[in-house]
A and B are shown apart, each in its own frame.
Chain A
Amino acid sequence: MASTIRLRAIVSGDTTEVQALVQHPMDSGFVKDSAGNLIPPHHIEVVEFEHAGKAVFTALWGPAVSKDPYVKFSFKGAQKGDDLTVSWVDNKGESDSLVAKIQ
């Protein structure tokens, strides 16, 4: 099955712009299902982005981040063709990771 992560990292000059989209329900814990029961919270807590063995960006998310969350940031020092690693973990201990080439 395909990864839960979509990553786009593009170098322009000395800056790499990174956009990521993660497939995740991000259930807040405040929404009821059709039977009227609260859907328990199920959301990503931490997303780490690493380049050359070093963290370049860390996201800490609460239940108010939208379903299928999206984030964009940029950092300096990467070259085209370098690896960028993304990994996430949620409040149920589920996780996923992806390594993508910077374009």
Chain B
Amino acid sequence: MAKQHNRPDRTRRLIVKAILAGVGLGLTGWKRARAADASLWLKDAFTQKTEADAIKALYGKDAEASDQVKLDAPEIAENGAVVPISVSSALPDVTSIAILVSENPFPLAATYKIPPGTSGMVANRLKMAKTSKVVALVESGGKIYSASKEVKVTVGGCGG
């Protein structure tokens, strides 16, 4: 089924930006679709091929295991294409949460920025290529804490 984004492609969007800049942002009354800031994406971390390299690219330091990080994931995924996973932590001043699937081609699946006022909790749904360790990382007070769990996958999320 054709998807209906009705959005300009990247090139056109850049052109729109350039025009707006050139006009000195004089068009404040114009309505245009907001877009999230694509420059926030962490290409380096998301393209690392091992868990250790992804963690290094993400934080530049190692994580220490902690029972203050709670990772909720199924024992056996009903289908590797949709695995509900949630992470929460009672640690103070959580600034980010990341979730890695060690055996995926690119282990880093998702990372979340948590500003002050937002709880140290996130739930999402991830794809798993095969049975793998899932690692949750919580950044708190400049340190990285982790928890992990083995999730069995018999129908991988990378099939057709």
Residues of A within 8 A of B (CB): 1, 4, 15, 23-26, 28, 30-32, 34, 45-48, 54-67, 69-77, 85, 87-89, 92-97
Contacts and interface: CB of A to CB of B under 8 A. Distances in A.
A46 B119 contact: no
Given A56-B117, A59-B112, A89-B35, A72 B81 contact: no
B117 A77 contact: yes
Interface of B: 3-11, 13, 33-38, 40-42, 46, 81-83, 86, 101, 104-106, 108-115, 117-119, 121-129, 157-160
Nearest to A59: B112
Nearest to A39: B160
11 contacts: A4-B4, A15-B119, A30-B158, A46-B41, A57-B114, A57-B118, A64-B104, A65-B109, A70-B125, A71-B122, A89-B38
Contact of B110 (A23, A59, A74, A75): A59
Given A30-B158, A71-B122, A73-B121, A60 B34 contact: no
A65 to B, nearest CB: 6
Nearest to B114: A57
A62 B109 contact: yes
Chain A interface mostly helix, strand, loop or mixed?
A: strand
A58 B125 contact: no
A55 B115 contact: yes
Contact of A92 (B10, B33, B34, B114): B10
Contact of B33 (A46, A56, A96): A96
B103 to A, nearest CB: 11
Contacts of A74: 118-119, 121
Given A64-B126, A72-B124, A93 B40 contact: no
A43 to B, nearest CB: 10
A46 B38 contact: yes
Q: Which 10 A-B residue pairs are closest in the complex by CB-CB distance?
A: A93-B10, A95-B35, A97-B34, A64-B109, A45-B41, A72-B123, A58-B113, A75-B118, A66-B125, A62-B46
A60 B58 CA distance: 12
A22 to B, nearest CB: 11
Nearest to A74: B119
Contacts of A32: 160
B109 A97 contact: no
A60 B108 CA distance: 10
Contacts of A72: 86, 122-124
Contacts of B83: 66
